[in-house]
Amino acid sequence: MKQKLLPILAPLVIAVALVFGAYFYFQNWPIAHAGVYGQLKPAVTTTLNERKFTKPAASVAAVRIEDNILGAKAIMPLTVVTTDKGDNLLVLIDKKIRLPADYVPANLVDVAGFPGSQLRSEAAGKLLEMFAAAKNEGLNLTIVSAYRSYQTQVNTFNSWVASAGLKSAESFSAHPCFSQHQLGTAVDIGAVGKTTFSNGFGNTPEGIWLAANAYKFGFCLSYPAGKEAITGYSYEPWHFRYIGVNNAQAMINSGSILEEYLQKFGVW
């Protein structure tokens, strides 16, 4: 009986082995080839459980490419990537992609007329152009907050945690290293003589003008209303990020918000 079964069982065992081998190969193929195709090139990964505001110990790890989110450029849940591309205008910084603690943007300058406020030189120049254009229409815009260093963001985030609690603070304030302000291209804008950091700003003449015109100067609203599930942050009609005039126009033409556009066309 055993001799009769052997010719039948042997091919079956080989077939099963081939099926399982092919399955595991294709499951791990994206990880092995991610660097080859350049779709994801993380420098360092940590976990979302990391809450210490000190520079983490580096541990290099591959990030698997998934095909179900925005053009095969998704990052696995619970994985955080530290990017070394902070000087690129299209670098994506969000709740899964962070800057090194010691990152300082190149070409930081004082914004003329706004003591204590700094931005990268290109962003500063375009911001002043935008403010001048708004003023020609009778609107007086001002800087509420511009570049923030790692340590400044530590203080800012800890202050919000102390006053609002961790869960609430995380909905509107970034952990240190995860803030667009550290890039030197993000700015919180207000209107002279009016309340700052209010959702109502979006309904003021200044907020309405910015929403309609900021892209012409290279600035995009980072956290629009109704997109909290995508951005991870609540609506902030005052928070704009400079990505360059041509890029901002392309983003508007695409119909995407900033987070979506940078996931498709940005770097990290």
Task: Identify the pLDDT of residue 115.
Answer: 96
Task: Identify the pLDDT of residue 16.
Answer: 52
Amino acid at 256: S
Average pLDDT of span 169-186: 97
Bridge partners (DSSP) of residue 165 are none
Tell me which of 1-5, 28-32, 159-163, 221-225 is least confident. 28-32
Q: At 196, is the pLDDT very low, low, confident or very high (cuts 50, 70, 90)?
A: confident
The reported pTM is 0.73
pLDDT of 225 strictly over 70 = yes
Task: Identify the pLDDT of residue 31.
Answer: 33
Handedness of CA 40, 45, 50, 56 (dihedral sign): negative
For the chain, domain boundaries: 2-98, 108-265
Catalytically active residues are: 236
Amino acid at 67: D
Task: Identify the pLDDT of residue 195.
Answer: 83
| CATH code for the domain defined by 108-265 | 3.30.1380.10
Task: Identify the pLDDT of residue 182.
Answer: 98
Are 191 and 141 in contact by the 8 Å Cβ rule? The answer is yes
Strand-strand pairing, 97-98 and 80-82: parallel
Cβ neighbours of residue 88 under 8 Å, at least 6 residues apart?
Answer: 266, 267
Average pLDDT of span 14-31: 46
Task: Identify the pLDDT of residue 164.
Answer: 95
Q: Which is nearest to 181 in space by CA: 123, 234, 225?
A: 123
Are 112 and 138 in contact by the 8 Å Cβ rule? The answer is no
Would you call 227 helix, strand, or coil by DSSP? coil
